[in-house]
Amino acid sequence: MMVCPPTAEYLMSNYGWRATLIILGATGANLIVCGMLIAKSIQLLNEEQRLIQEAVPNRTFAQYAKSCIENLLQPFYILLHVPSFIAILTARLFSTIVYSGWAIFLVPHAIDKGVSTSDAVLLSTIGGIAALCGRLLPGPFVDKGCIKAINLIVLATLVNAAGYLLDKWFYQFWSLSLAAIVNGFYFGLEPTIAFPLCDELLGTGLSQDGFSLTIVPSAVGEILGGTLIGKAC
């Protein structure tokens, strides 16, 4: 998010959209090579598979399918034991919808307010730096007990909401930059603090299942965000 917008703008101004997409696609294709370099060797994978087969008795297909279904449904049992966790999932859904729309429409929204294209693209970089800070800075404070995860996320949510409510009066680059910092910091913090939040609300025994469950509304929000906010505009 920090590097891609200015890079794409530079490539587009010098080579055009077609060449820009080719260059970005070729750059992304290098992830395949990176994945191959960090993959485990075939011999090690075969050895792990052999050890698993020796440790687990042979099961029929029906038993294996039942086990898979139980493992998939296990996180959802949390809702039976802690119904209030639905509020966290709902908040995660709306937060991801807002983030998706913010990331997609930040630049065109700034241009619509009269900001130049280069400055509008710079807002994405500013928001990306703020998101990186949101991922890195709060962790030590939560870990050392300086502030609880639930208190931190509530405070950050209130500040983030204030940034959106004041957007109507933001037309200058400096004010939009300030809003991008606030919004970017929150969207970096929110997924990072999710696991400590689950640990506080559910306890150590259920925190892993709770965290995995929060991924579901996040995925749905990513899909809905651009569509809903795009139609609203």
Domain boundary among 58, 84, 103: 58
CATH code for the domain of 174: 1.20.1250.20
Quick one: pLDDT band at residue 176, thresholds 50, 70, 90? very high
117, 13: one domain: no
- Quick check: 76 and 213 in contact, CB under 8 A? yes
Please count the structural domains in the chain: 2
Q: What's the mean pLDDT in 20-45?
A: 73
Contacts of 124 (CB under 8 A, 6+ apart): 1, 2, 4, 5, 106, 107, 180
- pTM of the predicted model as reported, rounded to 2 decimal places: 0.72
Q: State the average pLDDT for the chain.
A: 81
What is the residue type of 230? G
Higher per-residue pLDDT: 159 or 233: 159
Q: Are residues 176 and 195 in the same domain?
A: yes
Of 13-17, 26-30, 54-58, 90-94, minimum mean pLDDT range: 54-58
Could you tell me how many residues make up the chain? 233
Residue 188 and residue 76 share a domain: yes
Last residue of a domain, one of 28, 58, 88: 58
- Rounded to whole angstroms, the Cα distance separating 11 from 76 reads 46
If asked whether residues 189 and 118 sit together in one domain, one would say yes
Query: How far apart (Å, rounded) are the C-alpha atoms in residues 147 and 155?
Result: 11
Pair (143, 31) in one structural domain: no
List own/partner pairs for 206-214 with CB under 8 A and 24 or more apart: 206/78, 206/81, 206/82, 209/74, 209/75, 209/77, 209/78, 210/75, 210/78, 210/85, 210/88, 212/75, 213/75, 213/76, 213/78, 213/85, 213/89, 214/88, 214/89, 214/92
Picking from 147, 149, 145, the residue whose alpha carbon sits closest to that of residue 195 is 149
- Contact assessment for residue 79 and residue 85, using Cβ atoms and an 8 Å cutoff: yes
Task: Please tell me whether residues 88 and 121 are part of one structural domain.
Answer: yes
Both tokens of 89, joined, read 């999932």
What is the CA angle 6-9-15, rounded to 5? Answer: 135
Helices (H), the chain: 4-38, 42-55, 61-73, 78-81, 85-112, 117-136, 138-143, 149-165, 173-192, 194-202, 204-232
Query: Is there a single domain that holds both residue 54 and residue 111?
Result: no
Question: Do 110 and 220 belong to one domain?
Answer: yes
In this structure, the answer to whether residues 25 and 118 fall within a common structural domain is no
Provide the 10 A C-beta neighbour count for residue 161.
Answer: 13
> Which residue, chain included where needed, has tokens 């300030």?
178
The answer on 124 and 80 residing in a single domain is yes
Full residue range of the structural domain in which residue 8 is found: 1-58
- At 111-142, the pLDDT tens digits run 888 888 888 888 888 988 999 999 888 888 88
Tell me, yes or no, whether 46 and 70 share the same domain: no
Report how far residue 110's alpha carbon sits from residue 103's, in angstroms, rounded to the nearest whole number: 12
Q: Same domain, yes or no, for 126 and 47?
A: no
Residues 186, 155: Cα–Cα separation, whole Å:
10
Range picked from 29-38, 99-108, 154-163, 216-225 for highest mean pLDDT: 154-163
